[in-house]
């Protein structure tokens, strides 16, 4: 039996307030180039249903071909509500911002390929 010891945490992030949208910047904090960086779609809790019913909104991020050492990339994204893309006025990225002391109900699930072509993963709790 083999185990996948994936303790790498090469990415940090920050949100950029670029009115009318909030953007996500991902930074490679290592001395290695990573390729095929993707963030899985984030499904948001329904704000209109008292107990957070089925998700009405989700945020989908575009993949990034590569991020060089100590470099960063701003990921483009699209918010979808009820199966349709929405305009900037209805964008939901604001809900992924981290607020100190608040619970982080969402996760950025990041996958990438290292120099050997092996898939790696990192989870970053976000949201409020």
**Any domain includes 6:** no
Q: What is the pLDDT of residue 86?
A: 97
**Any domain includes 3:** no
Domain span including residue 47 = 11-126
Q: What is the pLDDT of residue 52?
A: 65
The confidence band for 67, taking pLDDT boundaries of 50, 70 and 90, is very high
Measured at the CA of 116, the angle between CA 112 and CA 120, to 5 degrees, comes to 30
**Any domain includes 96:** yes
The confidence band for 3, taking pLDDT boundaries of 50, 70 and 90, is very low
**Any domain includes 1:** no
**Any domain includes 2:** no
Q: How many domains does the chain have?
A: 1
The total of other beta-carbon atoms located within 10 Å of residue 77's CB is: 20
Predicted confidence (pLDDT) per residue in 14-31, tens digit:
999 998 899 999 999 999
**Are 91 and 22 spatial neighbours (Cβ–Cβ below 8 Å)?**
yes
Q: What is the pLDDT of residue 48?
A: 77
pLDDT > 90: percent of the chain: 81
**Any domain includes 16:** yes
CATH (domain of 39): 2.60.40
Q: How far apart are CA 42 and CA 15, in angstroms?
A: 15
**Any domain includes 17:** yes
């Amino acid at each position: 039996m083999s185990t996948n010891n994936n303790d790498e945490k090469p990415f940090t992030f920050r949100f950029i307030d670029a009115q009318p949208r909030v953007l996500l910047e991902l930074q490679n904090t290592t001395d290695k180039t990573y390729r095929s960086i993707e963030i899985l779609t984030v499904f948001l809790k329904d704000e209109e249903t008292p107990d957070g019913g089925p998700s009405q909104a989700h945020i989908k991020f575009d993949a990034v071909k590569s991020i060089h050492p100590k470099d960063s990339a701003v990921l483009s994204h699209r918010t979808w509500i009820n199966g349709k893309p929405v305009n900037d006025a209805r964008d939901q990225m604001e809900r992924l911002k981290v607020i100190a002391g608040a619970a982080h109900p969402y996760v950025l699930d990041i996958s990438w390929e290292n120099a050997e072509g092996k898939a790696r993963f990192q989870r970053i709790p976000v949201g409020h």
